[in-house]
Amino acid sequence: MSKIDLIIGRNPVIEALKSGRDISGVIIQKGASGSIAKVYDLAKKNGIKIEQAEKTELDKLCKGKGHQGVVAFAAAHSFASMKDIYKRVEAGGENALIVILDELEDPHNLGAIMRSAECAGACGIIISKHNSCGLTETVAKTSAGAIEYMPCVQVTNIAKTIDELKKNGFWIAACDMNGSLYTEADMRGKLALVIGNEGKGIRQLVKSKCDFVVSIPMLGQINSLNASNAAAIIMYEALRQRSEKR
């Protein structure tokens, strides 16, 4: 029997319905209004069973998490393959962007990075198999629906994957301390951005495989940004550079 995910919240449910994901049913809170109408219309259009329930029932089902009056039951998210990412790279041309997460553990960070990557037009996310979070309900909720569109590949060896990307024409940039100012680094062309673990940063072997290091200036009393914030800043700098006329 296949695993089932509980999708919680209006935007995650709407995006799951829009993406064509396999959903077995939707529960809507009695008396809920606003964007709930969009959930109802999409579910009805796709022939998905719709039930109504009291808020207390949804609270119990979601174990106190903010459901916003709607939940959906769907097949669990599975990881994509490198072939899926390369298909998007081919479509993206010379400005393809990939994000590599080296042992990122916080599902909130993974979800937020997925959201930023999807908005920035990235081709996919690569995560390490060991010491990394999976595609959990928290990741899905934090991604605000981006998990439905952003391929996420799990690999056993990040260093070897970087070698493979280099053979396919990618430059590899590490986001870490003691690098070039991120606004001064050339991030045009095929680029893979490496973000490290929340506490330990990028492992030395992985960092040694990178072509260059970019840094974000720190002017306050602490010396690092949240991983998802750093990833978003660098991704959008890459996007800015690609948008400029040469």
State which H helix or E strand residue 59 sits in.
helix 55-61
Tell me: the pLDDT tens digits for 75-84? 778 889 999 9
What's the rounded Cα separation, in Å, for the pair 33 and 28? 10
Could you give the maximum distance between any two Cα atoms of the chain, in Å? 58
What's the rounded Cα separation, in Å, for the pair 52 and 60? 14
Q: Supply the DSSP string of 87-115, one letter for each residue.
A: HHHHHHGGG-EEEEESS---HHHHHHHHH
Tell me: the pLDDT tens digits for 106-154? 989 999 999 999 999 999 999 988 888 878 778 888 998 899 899 999 9
Q: Could you list the beta-strand ranges (E) of the chain.
A: 4-8, 23-29, 49-53, 70-75, 97-101, 124-128, 152-155, 171-181, 191-195, 212-215
| pTM for this entry | 0.77
Residue 33: count of CB within 10 angstroms of its CB: 8
pLDDT tens across the length of the chain (246 residues): 345 688 899 999 999 899 888 788 899 999 888 989 999 999 988 888 898 999 999 988 888 788 989 999 887 788 899 999 999 999 877 889 999 999 998 989 999 999 999 999 999 999 988 888 878 778 888 998 899 899 999 998 999 999 999 999 999 999 998 889 999 999 999 999 999 998 889 999 999 999 999 999 888 777 778 899 999 999 999 999 988 755
Describe the strand order of the beta sheet including 191-195 as a list of residue ranges.
152-155, 124-128, 97-101, 191-195, 171-181, 212-215
Mean pLDDT of the chain: 89
Contacting residues for 239 by C-beta, under 8 A, at least 6 apart: 97, 120, 121
DSSP, res 146: G
